[in-house]
Structure 1
Amino acid sequence: MCLSHLRWDFVWQRPQQLMSRLATDYEVWFFEEPQFDERPEPYLEVREVAGGITVLVPWLPQDLGEQRIISLQRQLLDGWLAQHHQAPLLLWYFTPMGLRFTRHLVGQVVVFDCMDELAALRHAPPALAELERQLLERADVVFTGGLSLWESRRERHDNVHLMPGSVDIAHFAHARLVQAEPADQADIGRPRLGFFGVLDEQLDLVLLRELAMRRPLWQIILIGPVARIDPASLPRQPNLHYLGPRDYQTLPAYLSGWDVALMPFAINESTRYISPTQPLEYLAGGRPVVSTPIHDVVECYADSGVVSIAATPQAFIEAIGLALDLTRQPARLQALADRALQGMSWDSTCERIKEQIASLRHAL
Structure 2
Amino acid sequence: MSWAGPYQYDIGKSRDAEATPAEVVFDPKVPTLLCLSHLRWSFVYQRPQHLMTRFARDFNVLFLEEPIATEADQPWLEVRPAENDVQVLIPRLPDGCTGEAAERVQKGLVDGYLDRLEVKDLLLWFYTPMALSYAEHLKPRVVIYDCMDELSAFRGAPPELIEREKQLLERADLVFTGGYSLWEAKRELHDNAHPFPSSVDVEHFASARDRRADPEDQAAIGRPRLGFYGVIDERFDIELVGSVAELRPDWQFVLVGPVVKIDPADLPRRNNIHYLGAKTYDELPSYLGGWDVAIMPFAMNESTRFISPTKTPEYLAGGCPVVSTPIRDVVRTYGDTGIVRIADTTQAFVEAVEASLDDAADRERLLETADQILGEMSWDHTWTLMKEKISCAM
TM bucket, shorter chain: over 0.9
Q: Distance in 1 between matches of 2:175 and 2:359?
A: 39
1:270 aligns with 2:320: no
- Aligned partner of 2:7 in structure 1 is none
Deviation at 1:37, TM superposition (A): 2.2
What are the within-5 Å matches in structure 2 for residues 142-181 of structure 1?
142-181=175-214
Counterpart position of 1:245: 278
1:213 to partner: Cα distance: 0.6
2:108 maps to 75
Query: Do residues 125 (structure 1) and 158 (structure 2) align?
Result: yes
Paired with 1:232 and 1:342, the residues of 2 have a C-alpha distance of 41
1:28 aligns with 61
Alignment of structure 1 residues 176-191 onto 2, 5 Å: 176-191=209-224
Q: Shift in Å at residue 100 of structure 1? A: 0.6
Distance 2:90 2:213 in 1: 36
1:224 aligned onto 2:257:
yes
TM-superposed deviation, 1:360: 1.3
Question: How far did 1:16 drift?
Answer: 0.3
Out of 224, 230, 234, which is 1:197 matched to? 230
1:333 paired residue number: 366
- Give distance in 2, aligned partners of 1:78 and 1:224: 36
Q: Check if 1:301 corresponds to 2:337.
A: no
Q: Secondary structure at the match of 2:60?
A: coil
Task: Give the deviation of 1:86 after TM superposition.
Answer: 2.6
Deviations 1:184-230, CA, capped at 9 Å, x for gaps? 00000000000000000000111010011111110000111111111
Aligned to 2:145: 112
Partner Cα separation in structure 2 for residue 41 and residue 81 of structure 1: 19
Measured against aligned partners, the alpha-carbon deviations of 1:138-176 in whole angstroms (never above 9, x if no partner) come to 000000010111000001001000111100000000001
| Residues 1:311 and 2:344 are matched in the alignment | yes
Normalising by structure 2, we get a TM-score of 0.91
CA distance in 1, matches of 2:81, 2:98: 30
1:275-312 deviation per Cα after TM superposition (whole angstroms, max 9, x unaligned):
10111000000000000000000010001111000000
Give the whole-Å Cα distance in 2 for the aligned partners of 1:105 and 1:86: 11
Aligned-partner Cα distance in 2 for 1:238–1:145: 36
Write the letter of the residue equivalent to 1:325.
Answer: D
Which structure 1 segments of 5+ residues have no match? none
Match of 1:135 in 2: 168
CA distance in structure 2 between the aligned counterparts of 1:353 and 1:179, rounded to whole angstroms: 36
Residue 66 of structure 1 corresponds to 99
1:38 paired with 2:68, answer no
1:64 is displaced (CA, Å) by: 2.7
Q: Which of 30-39 and 133-142 deviates more?
A: 30-39
Q: Secondary structure at the match of 1:229?
A: coil
Q: Does 1:11 align with 2:11?
A: no
Match of residue 353 from structure 2: 320
SS of aligned partner of 1:353: helix
Partner SS, residue 51 of structure 1: helix
1:136 & 1:326 partners in 2: Cα distance? 44
Q: Which whole-Å CA distance do the structure 2 matches of 1:170 and 1:85 have between them?
A: 38
Query: Residues 108-146 of structure 1: CA distance to partner in whole angstroms, max 9, x if unpaired?
Result: 000000000000000000110000000000000000010
Structure 1 residue 85, shift from structure 2 partner: 3.5
Structure 1 length normalisation: TM-score?
0.98
Distance 1:235 1:86 in 2: 51
Q: What is the rounded CA distance, in whole Å, between the counterparts of 2:63 and 2:77 in structure 1?
A: 12
CA distance in 2, matches of 1:176, 1:22: 29
State the Cα distance separating 1:54 from its structure 2 match: 0.3
Query: Are 2:60 and 1:47 aligned?
Result: no
Amino acid at match of 2:193: V
Which consecutive aligned stretches of 4+ in structure 1 deviate over 6 angstroms post-superposition? Answer: none
Specify every segment of 5 or more residues in structure 2 that has no aligned partner in the other structure, as ranges.
1-33
**In structure 1, C-alpha distance between the alignment counterparts of 2:304 and 2:326, rounded to whole Å:** 10
